[in-house]
Structure 1
Amino acid sequence: MSEPLPASDVTPGDEAPDLLLTGLLFYDLVFTGLGQPPVPGEEIWTRGMGSGPGGIANLAVAAARFGLRTSLATVFGDDFYGRYCREVLAGQEGIDLSLSRTAPAGWHTPVTVSLALGDDRALVTNGHEPPYSQDELIRDPPAARSALVHIGAEPQQWLAKAAASGTKIFADVGWDPSQQWSSDVLDRLSLCHAFLPNEGEAMAYTRTDTPTAALHALSDLVPVAVVTRGRDGAIAVDQSTGEFAEAGALDVDVLDATGAGDVFGASFVAASLAGWPLAERLRFAALAAGLSVRLHGGALAAPGWGGVAEWWRGVAADPGAEALRREFGFLTDRIPTDPGPPPPRAPVTPLYDLPS
């Protein structure tokens, strides 16, 4: 029987990472409890608020909280937001930032205001292109077990190097504002072990009209194909094992959907590295994403083992949760003996002492 990945007690940098990440870091400020979007000339008071690292940090924190040795290559501004995010990621979450850099003076950490509206959110961001590219940050990639990357039409040289050295590449993709859905993006999948788009992206890039048809088209291009479907869960195919699986979304009240897809992806990677069957990988990722939307933010809403264990104890004690106990019974053999407490959550106002 495969085992869960235990919480790592290895000092970042002492061993090759389990997961290599690179991308743009944001400082997120999330407002929840809006009855409606604001309109010009109007002031709306919200019922909730949280703040913390966002963007690529969502993936990094979600993975680290499941015990993966996580190495992050990103750019921090030399400002309050950058210093605060660096302290949270390295000091609180134990993420290796040895590949990251601080930007020259004049470049600030991008800031996003997220307005949570029902099951979705609207984003307002201020930022600039980072002063260092992914290839400049990573150069010769470390011998990581896996990498989770956002692919685009442009080649990423570090990605080809990582794949050639045996790193398993898990990829997602973003919405194409031009709506051209270039086939060049799918060409990048030749380097990948797994691809995890949402259903809109999957259908657009494959020129299909159903999520299932998109999944089958993608399964011809990559060993493991996953299509996420929001409230409808996710479907997946693993060609290396011949498995097909589908999982429903967790039935929860959504407070903030920011970063839920990132939490899904990082959790799927964690379960994949542990060698779980496809159905368990998919249900576990859907569970982690579902638990995250009950809280503010993306990175600091990631449940980790402590959050999953807390939820599972509640399910085990609930007489009306028999269906959940059947669906997630595999967690009994997966949750570590000492999962730790639920992790820190997104604060309303970050408490951080700036250097004098």
Structure 2
Amino acid sequence: MSRRSVLVIGPMFADLLVEGASQMPRAGEERYIDSYTVSPGGNAILALAFARLGLHSALLTTIGDDFIGAELRDSLETEGVDTSTLSVIENQQSNISLIFHDASDRSFLTWVQPDLLVHEYASAVARRIASDRYDHVHICFEYLSHRWARDLLKRLRRSGSGISTGLGYQDSVSWNQESVEQAALVDWIFMNEEEARRITGKRDVQDLLHALREIVREPVVTLGREGSVALSEEGETIRVPAVDVAVVNTTGSGDSFAAGFIYALLRKRSLMECVQTGGLFGSMTASVKESISPRIGPELAERLEDYYGS
């Protein structure tokens, strides 16, 4: 079995996940929380998942020259992620998200590096990337608005790379005609039900799938506790129920879904199996405190290969 390669492009965060914060303290007040977890977040979730599953995984991202950036880089390299496409921005802090969560929802306080600096460094790295190096590229949707990213994707596509992206809350809120044009650059877009409803204006799942067909060839939408759904190129609706788990934290479950889907895609599995694998990965992460489940790793890869081969 040849070793597949994936390039992940987009911001990485240090996620500080807080439990037991029912409300913010008033001025001068101190409140205590039940627990907290620190975990690599953002696009690091996909890069880590791919590396743990035995793929060659590279992450094109930026960090600051602070101790958080050093810890993030160390966590990637310890897990086998290729950091040759990672840039350190001098005199800058690293991205961080303070996440308040329970089993039903999340809220965020986030700091990000200046956009202009991020894309200056990222574009320099992109120019050095060989066009025939990666089997698949997963890119942050916001990056598709930048010329360097579009040029890189065109080069990689000509060499046969598959391309995917994940939609975020802000992407769906600001969706416009330019967004539609950016979506045409990719083969797969991962989004949740609410995001799909915002960009299509449809409420019924079947209606929004057909509306999404105008944007992407085979739409895939996650439905939370209802599982996930896709519309094949032949027009077949594929519904996969959610894996029954005790939900602890949904942070990272969407990225984990995308990682599972892409992993199965690279194993040349059917659309049904891709959605099933994505659902499995997403549920694993939803059942733990971290932004990526520690169970996504070599043992899971072996079990999946046995399953695919049966």
TM above 0.5, yes or no, is: yes
The alpha-carbon distance between structure 1 residues 302 and 135, as it changes in their structure 2 partners (threshold 3 A), is farther
Q: Report what 1:146 is aligned to.
A: 136
Letter in 2 for 1:128: Q
In structure 1, the residue matched to 2:114 is 129
Equivalent residue, structure 1, for 2:10: 23
SS of the residue aligned with 1:40? coil
- Secondary structure, aligned partner of 2:229: strand
Q: Is the contact between residue 65 and residue 302 of structure 1 (CA under 8 Å) also seen in structure 2?
A: no
User: Would you say how many aligned residue pairs link Structure 1 and Structure 2?
Assistant: 300
CA contact (8 A) 1:186 1:205 kept: no
Show structure 1 runs of 5+ residues with no match.
Answer: 9-16, 313-329, 337-356
CA RMSD of aligned residues (A): 2.7
What letter corresponds to residue 93 of structure 1 in structure 2? E
Which protein has the bigger helix share? Answer: 2
Q: C-alpha distance in 1, partners of 2:12/2:164?
A: 19
> Which residue of structure 1 lines up, in the alignment, with residue 105 of structure 2?
120
State the alpha-carbon separation in 2 of the partners of residues 307 and 30 from structure 1.
25
Within 5 Å, which residues of 2 pair with 1:91-240? 92-104=78-90, 106-129=91-114, 131-133=117-119, 134-142=122-130, 143=132, 144-152=134-142, 154-155=145-146, 156-157=149-150, 158-176=152-170, 179-239=173-233
1:288–1:308 CA contact under 8 A, matched in 2: no
One of 239, 243, 247 as aligned partner of 1:250: 243
With normalisation by structure 1, the TM-score equals 0.76
Confirm whether residue 272 of structure 1 aligns to residue 272 of structure 2. no
Indicate the residue corresponding to 1:316 in structure 2.
Answer: none
Check if 1:64 corresponds to 2:38: no
Higher-RCO chain (CA-CA 8 Å, sequence separation at least 6): 1
Q: Deviations over 1:168-227 (max 9, x none)?
A: 111222223793421221212222221211112212222322232121122243232101
Residue identity matched to 2:118 = Y
What letter is aligned with 1:75? Answer: T
Q: Distance in 2 between matches of 1:219 and 1:147?
A: 21
- Deviation, 1:163, is 2.1
1:84-95 to 2 correspondences below 5 Å:
84-90=71-77, 92-95=78-81
Aligned partner of residue 235 in structure 1, secondary structure: strand
In the aligned structure 2, how far is the partner of 1:166 from the partner of 1:254? 38
User: How far 1:127 sits from its partner (Å)?
Assistant: 3.1
Structure 2: stretches of 5+ with no match in the other structure: none
Question: CA shift at 1:234, angstroms?
Answer: 0.8
Amino acid at match of 1:145: D
* AA at the equivalent of 1:278: L
CA distance in 2, matches of 1:38, 1:83: 30
Q: TM-score, with normalisation over the residues of structure 2?
A: 0.86
